[in-house]
Structure 1
Amino acid sequence: MYKVIIVDDEAVVRLGLKNTIDWREHGFELIGDYANGREAWEAIELQKPELVISDISMPFMDGLELAGLIAAQYPYIKMIILTGFDEFEYAQQAIRLKVSDFILKPITAKEMRTLLDRVKAEMDEETERREDLGRLKKQLNQSLPLLRERFLERLVAVGFGKSEITDRFSAFSIPVPVPLQLVMVADIDDFGDRELLSYEHDVEFLRFAAFDIFKETLERDNVLIFRTREERMVAIVSGEPNESLLYERVFSMAEEVRHHIEKYLKFTVTIGIGRSCASPEKLPDAYKSALSVLDYRFLLGKNRVLSILDFEDKPSTSIAAPMDWDRKLASAVKTGSLQEAYRLIEDGVAEMKASLASLEPCLVEVQKVALTLMNTIQELTADYKQSPIDWQMKLMDVYRFKTLDEVEAWLKEAVRSVVAAISDSRNHLTISQIRKAVEYIETNYMNDKMSLQDLCRHVLMSTSYFSLVFKQHTGETFIEYLTSVRVGKAKELLCGTSLKFYEIAEKVGYKDPNYFSILFKKNTGMTPKEYRESSAKEREV
């Protein structure tokens, strides 16, 4: 039986509803009627009815205001609005306030009975749904796989006490692992040719497919399988009292998983096998060792099965790269020796691999190199901030690589870009300096004491380097270019003035008129006199 109240400021409406409806026959108990929303609200707070039938237009508090309070504080209470106002905006407000029905007055007793039956059926259905323990149990069963995964993940990552382990395993109907136990962790290297997938759901599908193969391959007695929140695939293998037999069994299973994923999905995984342990309480140590051996992928490459047995007895050196690797690499970059830079990168990576150093020292060495390259760019390029290789030099980029082979390829590409950027910068600077030198010659050609040393001091270049690049850019040596400028100016003066030959020689930078005449004839094929006469005849014609 559901409790109901009536709210209407017209006494005749309240009386009619009370007397013409057999409320109990329709599954309701009428517990009160009220003349305005304020009185009704006080009753609602005290008695918590399941249904409120209310008018809209009432003093002190109207029906929509009352509906707003009910929706905010008792959203499970259903409300029916009875109104004489056929207004669309009222209906809109009623919908926003989640009113169950909006009925226009006058309403007949028959219509009210039909309405009550329909509302009761809806309320019965909701009650049944809430109280359906079978449905709740089904939902719980649907959630159990995820809850089981989270339990197993916490078991290996954090651990539980002995009694808690027994209780939890029992709750999930999982057999408790028996001695000895091993943890193996599989991590997807990359998606190979499918790396160009553009949608996250495609990646998730591939992860699911890999886990499906992982499960199908390993699902047998004494093996617990789950995925972590980092998308790693984990198996707890137990049941072998002999440690060497357990390792042999687990390695064989891991190799089978690796092979099947590569064959059927066309991408690869690397699998780490940790130390064995004698009880479930020790699984966090076993899991941690499996993760640590997985880090050796960085040194040894992808698509492998790696066991802690292959590494724990081998001494690791703290020197992960050649001495002064970053400094030597920077020197090669500064001199533009690309092949030497490549050789240094290859040697450095090879030495890190051979050292069997842990992941962090290797990353520190790579970061040092990246930082040195950034400094080199800042030193040698004029506009570093707009440099096209800026994106490659971000220090944290090294953490996205899973192997040293990837780091090697990245470093080579970065160095190639740096050398190209420095070369472009140098070419730009050199062109600017040559232009400055040409301008200096054309402005100061009349100075008979002008020398190569003066010019190099002006453009801040060494004489040997200047001589090399000047000839490359102009096609002439400094003396040849200066002579051509002076001869050109002399031609202008011979044609455009009546100056004496010795005066012209002095104006173009030659104190000795005879030397001037010899140079002029050598460059033009005529003496200054012959050139003036020839030019005069041409003008007359």
Structure 2
Amino acid sequence: MFRVLLVDDEALARNDVKSMLDWEKYGFTICGEAHNGSAALSLMERQPPHIAIIDVSMPSMNGVELSRLIRERFPKVKMIMLSSFDEYDYVRACLINGAMDYLLKHRLNAASLLALLNKAARDLQVEEREHEARSAQIKMLERLSPVILREYVANLARNGQEAGEELHTYARDNRLYAHSVNYGTAAVQLVPFQLLTEPFTDVQKNRFVQQATDVMQMAIGDIYQRTVGYVGEGRFIVLFSSTERSVHTVTTQINQAMSSLSHSLEKFLNLKCIFATGPLCGSLKQLGASYGTANQKINDILYQGTNATIQRDSLFIEEQKQLLLFLEQLDGEKMNSMISTIFASLQSQPVYSMTVQVIVSEMLHIVEMALKRHFPHATIEDNNLLPSRSDLGRIGSVAELEQWLLNYYARIVEALKKQHAGGSYSRHISKAIQYITDNYASDISLEMTAAVLNLNPSYLSRLFKEETQMTFSEYLNRVRIKTSCMLMESGVHSLKQISSQVGFLNYTYFFKVFKAITGMTPQAYADSLKQSNK
């Protein structure tokens, strides 16, 4: 039943309209009467009608103004305008305001009124159906949100058969993968995800994953036929559906799509990946098992040789201590030798193997430990100290990775050297300190340093004391004792070996200087380290 509101300042005119029809017989009902525009709006606020029959000429608020307000506040209401006068300006204004028609009262009869009412009813029904269709489409699109669809697909990797049942139901209810008869999956691993994203915040990592997802989806096509889902830790699942019945044809299509996916990651994001495909199946319910096969292939590739080719899956404790020691000593030669030795044991591994990833990750952590000790209030990125990890994405071999890491360590050594020689020191003293840092293990002296810097020894001695508040010998001894403490922490060398390595020609003198600076003998310091490590 369509509700009709009558708006006319003349009660007789309203009665004439009411008496023209058997309203309910034709599906209409008079829901209210108003004698002016304000009263009409008040009634409409309480219960909007479907149709309003409005007199144009009314006091205080005429029909033209009322029609404008109805269009603004109640745009769904259909308006039929009545008037005793045929005035073009009124007709035009009412039609602009959305009125269906403009009728003269003296020409109004039951047939013309019913015709307009029926037209209004048809328009309302069409609009209602369109609204319902739009609402259904919006709900469908909400259900088919890429985020939701990807989560259903990703669950295949987590819950197997149960997730396959859920995806099957979801796809059936939303008419996804329509007419498909063959389905397949692929597992994709970004290389090297762990190394690339370790410094990232959660927001940065999510953005990185979304970029990779978008590029992969773009490469393989329509998300509602081929869907990329994120599993975690750089691992993705790709679902393929096809209307082709030929297994050979579908397999070829999948291989071509995965090749395009790999190429796009490298082209647009400078990322390498490895991938493996699972067996085809005839139902979404079976895709969990298909992905399980693909996932196992990826794991076999990543972990190949972990327990066979080499007898380790991480850095040895002694390697960690030595690397940190050489880094703290700023000994680039020994540091490079250690890195090359470590990588010699990794040459048989692919760059994306987990053994390589874990060991390189540990080597990067050692660098970060050294940085935090010397730059406690700054980050690597803030100081532009090291190459960006984004370069790791394009590395394709262990040899390239070794060279990248050698450069990485060399950069931090240079940064630490600058930090040691920097501060508020003058140019001459900065160079002197740099010379001590590089040569403390040798038999150096004030005179030798002055000769290298082309300075008078007395002038250098006075300047050094003024700026560092120490004599040249005191500063040199502090550098040597600090280094000897680090060597003791490594637990590799004897005290006499350490004494010689840091530049003391006499062990007794080393003993004396060590106690003067640290307050304890070398042996007592070594014993305290053993106690703290228990």
**TM-score, length-scaled by structure 1:** 0.48
With structure 2 as the length reference, what TM-score do the two structures score? Answer: 0.48
Choose between structure 1 and 2 for higher RCO, CA contacts under 8 A separated by at least 6 residues: 2
